Structure 1
Amino acid sequence: MTSADLLLLIRRLFHMQRTKRSFESPRYLLKWLLISTLIGLVAGIGAVVFYAAIHFATEIFLGRLVGYFPPDPAGEGEHGIMAFWSAVRPWLLPIVTTLGGLLSGMIVFSLAPEAEGHGTDAAIAAFHQGKAVRARIPLIKLVASAITIGSGGSAGREGPAAQISAGFGSLLATWLKLDVQDRRIALATGMGAGIGAIFRAPLGGAILAAEILYRDDLEIEAIVPALIASIIGYSVFGAWSGWSPIFATPSNLAFTSPPQLLYYVLLGLLCGLIGRLYSTGFYGITHIFHRLPLPKWLKPGIGGLLVGLIGLVLPQAIGMGYGWVQVSMGPGLLSLPIWVILLLPFAKILTTGLTVGSGGSGGIFGPGMVIGGMVGAVVWRLCYHVLPGIPDTPGPFVIVGMMALFGGIAHAPLAVMLMVAEMTGSLSMLAPAMIAVGIATIIVGQATIYQSQLPTRADSPAHRLQLSFPLLSTLAIQQAMTPLTFHLSPLQTIAEAEQMLAERNESGAVVVDAHNNLLGVITQADIQRISLVERSQRFVQAVMTRDVLTAYPDATLDEALELLTSHRVSWMPIIDVAAASGGQKVIGVLNAVDIVHAYRATLAKDDRRMRGLVVGTVMIETKVEAGMPLVERPLREAHLPAECLVISIRRQEELLFPRGSTVILPGDMVTFLVSPQGETALQKYLATRNVASAV
């Protein structure tokens, strides 16, 4: 197989019509099986590297400098509860946290300012805006976040893990030249795979990829790719770190007493209220730091100093905090002073805001679950031996608190419930969690911890055109584009190109070789940058733009319009995906005016188009006029085009379901189900008029 044949195979595999985008299509499934596998491998490797980097940084900063190790959850280490003031140099903690903040700030703001803060929100924003993630972001995020967390900053590891694999998904989509929608799905798939791997929760991570993008909606198309990538990432990470869940739970953990649901209602109310406080407090602290008239790289150092000072009084509030959640699930909770348990949820909100809100790098997912778990621990500790029917162990309240608080404030209740269940290795608390999470979600309302979330798909640029102008999503570019009749040669002079553009009143033209393969484009703006004297001496190839926005003829017009508007251009070449030469053979040009004309022409036909219920079909509803070839004759004799079926007839107020003997009359509204290939033949058929019948 030659390189040209291989390139042709790749193009045919990764580019297909939207109507064929279904996992019932073997080709589409194969495409995403390959893409998701690559993303999952990178997610797993990235999780391994990031996990090791955090532990290395913790060993250096907290271990060797301070002499203190926070407790680890049962599935991740052997460090037990260590008295903070028994450390070798506990007084160094504020200095270490300040140093970590400064290092993180200098790395981020000197190399990639967009890596500031928590990476999950940045990945959500990139999804909605359709932006590619710069290649350097994942690496910078990994290093800066490891330093932040390892030096005692209160942050989670999910944001950087999500951004590493989401960044790779975006880069892979760019390399494969996937369309805008597939690029977004690849990015969301990376988010889910990274989080699923680092938390050893592949199912929850995959659902999170679809759920976390919106407050009140789901990105359904992302679920299957994210499931594939997430299990691959989890397998890679698990092969290195082990397969045990992060948290160990009591063996008698179970929900067996329905009256306990009243306590979970109370827990849901508290988690909803404290979830709102978490969001308000975090962004309140963030806004304070943004208004400080100081260099951006210095602010994480100030946040780190304040975190270190709080840690001198309440060391449980520094770091990721998963070890303290583990302690709170068992009898160790009774060994903690009551004032520590009461203050810890609020102190964790404060330290997370100071760490990440100041510009430090790290996630807010992990701290949110720690806060929720400690709220559950507070409820159990205050009610134990006071109210009847309280479980003998705090584990159930801690687990449900983790689910309820962050599931509500993140507007991802299903994903968070599944993730916590996987992290604890137990599904037994899902029943009471449904009550608590539901109530917490109601209390939270429209508040959210992820400000880049949008309400629904209709509010996202990813779907706005499709849902606002559904007609455009049923029309292909090939139905609107102008066939290639005018182009320029790279060896023409700029003066000749200018004259030809002026004669045709064109703003620009494509530049092709002898086989119509795309070389670039040249516009009037390119020409105006060249002096008048040089225009007759220099050639088109010297000034043409080589990095050209292109599209394929089977893409839909809403995708094309989004491409044009997002890149701020008025036209683009259309290339043949099946070009045998291996190059980008130009077959036409599409501009915004063409899209508008096609839209208006379709409306003028007095027919209505919609996506068919059967994948790969379109439904067209049209009003029958006298003279049409199917009028006043049985359907079996109407000689309809191939791949076309009449599915309903509306006659005045009556809805008819046709048979072969049904006769269509003038004025009937007829709905056709037709394949994209047969649509042109159907339109020609309907445009035909029988003169004798019409008279």
Structure 2
Amino acid sequence: IAAVHHNPTGLRLRAALVKVVASSLIIGSGGSGGREGPTAQISATVISRLCGALRIPRPDARIAVAAAMASGIGAIFRAPLGGALLGAELLYRDDLEADAIMPGLISSIVAFAVYGSVYGFQPIFGTMSGLTFVHPAELLWFAVVGVAAGLLGRWYAQAFYAGGALLQRLPVPRAILPAIGGLCVGLLGLAVPAVLGTGYGWTQLQMTSGWMLSSPLWLVLVIPFAKIVATTLSIGSGGSGGVFGPGMVIGGATGAALWRIIHDMPGVSSSPAPYVIIGMIACFGAIAHAPLGVMLMVAEMTGNLSLLAPAMIAVAIATMIVGDNSIFHSQLRNRLEAARLYRGTPAP
């Protein structure tokens, strides 16, 4: 995001190559991080270097790098449409880069086709065609999901940066910090195994009523908070990984915990899956300031579009609660601020 706004041809290829190895070690060993951040950075770096070699003008290079970021996200999540919109939305807190949408659509579907030809085209969470929205009264409960997801998302963004700053002040060599973070995550994982790795497998378990009702209530309630702590320790300490995936898992766990509390109330679905899905959308759509892209992405990840109506309610409420807080500090406010930056004049 910073490269798109400040130096679209300045991403270093060496950093991308190291990112491959470092992210594999961190996430593969149980660190709490996502695959999408490194994938987006690697994709953007390749195109950034290509734009530099071909002397592509800066305005076109900006769009190319944004489209490359979209292609990496669309491929790794098997969600090309959501990835394309996300590449345009992630650049700003209150705007989107309209010129990047069409290139993002093309790059994302090509990346999805290449990735899917090797790993398959099935949605990450399988096809959940059985999930439907048929009771308008349940919108009240989904609004509550939006409140809870907004609060957890806001705390996630604040805790991640505050915790990272605190870790960076420890009087130890910087190369040792990720090891300290990893040790702490391992100890936390002994008590709450759900914090380890990407967490998508646990999110799938939380979509089933059998697992949710048979698990201790304290575990269901503590997972979203523990995942925030684990991600702060893993990535905030200097480890390599994305914050996107953990944000989705935190949102899903928030929706699951709320369902566990209210599942006996009138009008509540017998399955926790809708609450998990909408929690994912509301939480990360709000803190990334990318509600449209995340809504479509989660719909593609589950193979189900029927929950978009309640998701719109939840993500709107969550966005109001999150306010100007963002998990991506490199975002600019809008295209006007970007234009002023490009012309070299100070933004208001």
Supply the RMSD in Å over aligned alpha carbons: 1.5
Are residues 1:172 and 2:43 paired? no
Greater share of strand: 1
- Provide Cα deviations, 1:537-584, integer angstroms capped at 9, x if missing partner: xxxxxxxxxxxxxxxxxxxxxxxxxxxxxxxxxxxxxxxxxxxxxxxx
Structure 1 residue runs of 5 or longer lacking an equivalent are 1-123, 470-695
Are residues 1:136 and 2:14 paired? yes
* AA at the equivalent of 1:432: P
Q: Secondary structure at the match of 2:175?
A: coil
Are residues 1:377 and 2:250 paired? no
- Provide Cα deviations, 1:371-416, integer angstroms capped at 9, x if missing partner: 000111011111112x101011111000000000000011000000
Is the CA contact (8 Å cut-off) linking 1:181 and 1:462 kept in structure 2? no
Are residues 1:453 and 2:328 paired? no
Cα 1:253/1:237, change in 2 over 3 Å: same
Alignment partner, residue 345 of structure 1? 224
Greater share of helix: 2
Q: What aligned pairs does 1:268-283 form with structure 2 within 5 A after superposition?
A: 268-283=146-161
The separation in 1 between residues aligned to 2:60 and 2:31, in whole angstroms, is: 36
Structure 2 residue runs of 5 or longer lacking an equivalent are none
- Provide Cα deviations, 1:521-547, integer angstroms capped at 9, x if missing partner: xxxxxxxxxxxxxxxxxxxxxxxxxxx
Are residues 1:411 and 2:303 paired? no
Are residues 1:392 and 2:270 paired? yes
Cα 1:255/1:308, change in 2 over 3 Å: same
The separation in 2 between residues aligned to 1:461 and 1:285, in whole angstroms, is: 33
Alignment partner, residue 45 of structure 1? none
Out of 327-336 and 133-142, give the one that drifted further.
327-336
Q: What aligned pairs does 1:214-613 form with structure 2 within 5 A after superposition?
A: 214-248=92-126, 250-331=128-209, 332-385=211-264, 387-460=265-338, 464-465=342-343
Q: TM-score, normalised by structure 1?
A: 0.49
The separation in 2 between residues aligned to 1:206 and 1:171, in whole angstroms, is: 21
Note the C-alpha offset of 1:460: 2.2
- Provide Cα deviations, 1:608-653, integer angstroms capped at 9, x if missing partner: xxxxxxxxxxxxxxxxxxxxxxxxxxxxxxxxxxxxxxxxxxxxxx
The separation in 2 between residues aligned to 1:251 and 1:202, in whole angstroms, is: 19
Cα 1:174/1:464, change in 2 over 3 Å: closer
The separation in 1 between residues aligned to 2:174 and 2:115, in whole angstroms, is: 34
Is the CA contact (8 Å cut-off) linking 2:151 and 2:321 kept in structure 1? yes
Are residues 1:196 and 2:74 paired? yes
The separation in 1 between residues aligned to 2:168 and 2:292, in whole angstroms, is: 33
Note the C-alpha offset of 1:461: 5.8
Note the C-alpha offset of 1:334: 2.0
Note the C-alpha offset of 1:184: 1.0
- Provide Cα deviations, 1:4-62, integer angstroms capped at 9, x if missing partner: xxxxxxxxxxxxxxxxxxxxxxxxxxxxxxxxxxxxxxxxxxxxxxxxxxxxxxxxxxx
The separation in 1 between residues aligned to 2:277 and 2:21, in whole angstroms, is: 31
The separation in 1 between residues aligned to 2:125 and 2:63, in whole angstroms, is: 31
Is the CA contact (8 Å cut-off) linking 1:248 and 1:326 kept in structure 2? no
Cα 1:435/1:161, change in 2 over 3 Å: same
Is the CA contact (8 Å cut-off) linking 1:457 and 1:463 kept in structure 2? no
Q: What aligned pairs does 1:80-95 form with structure 2 within 5 A after superposition?
A: none
Q: Secondary structure at the match of 1:460?
A: helix
Q: Secondary structure at the match of 2:124?
A: coil
Q: TM-score, normalised by structure 2?
A: 0.96
Note the C-alpha offset of 1:443: 0.6
The separation in 2 between residues aligned to 1:401 and 1:438, in whole angstroms, is: 12
Alignment partner, residue 565 of structure 1? none
Task: Name the % identity.
Answer: 55
Note the C-alpha offset of 1:300: 0.1
The separation in 2 between residues aligned to 1:189 and 1:251, in whole angstroms, is: 30
Q: Which has the higher contact order (CA 8 A, sep 6+)?
A: 2
Cα 1:162/1:462, change in 2 over 3 Å: farther
How many corresponding residue pairs? 345
Is the CA contact (8 Å cut-off) linking 2:128 and 2:303 kept in structure 1? no
Is the CA contact (8 Å cut-off) linking 1:317 and 1:351 kept in structure 2? yes
Structure 1 runs (4+) deviating above 3 angstroms are 461-464, 466-469
Is the CA contact (8 Å cut-off) linking 1:128 and 1:462 kept in structure 2? no
Note the C-alpha offset of 1:251: 4.3
The separation in 2 between residues aligned to 1:142 and 1:464, in whole angstroms, is: 31
Note the C-alpha offset of 1:243: 1.0
Note the C-alpha offset of 1:464: 4.2
Is the CA contact (8 Å cut-off) linking 1:169 and 1:189 kept in structure 2? no
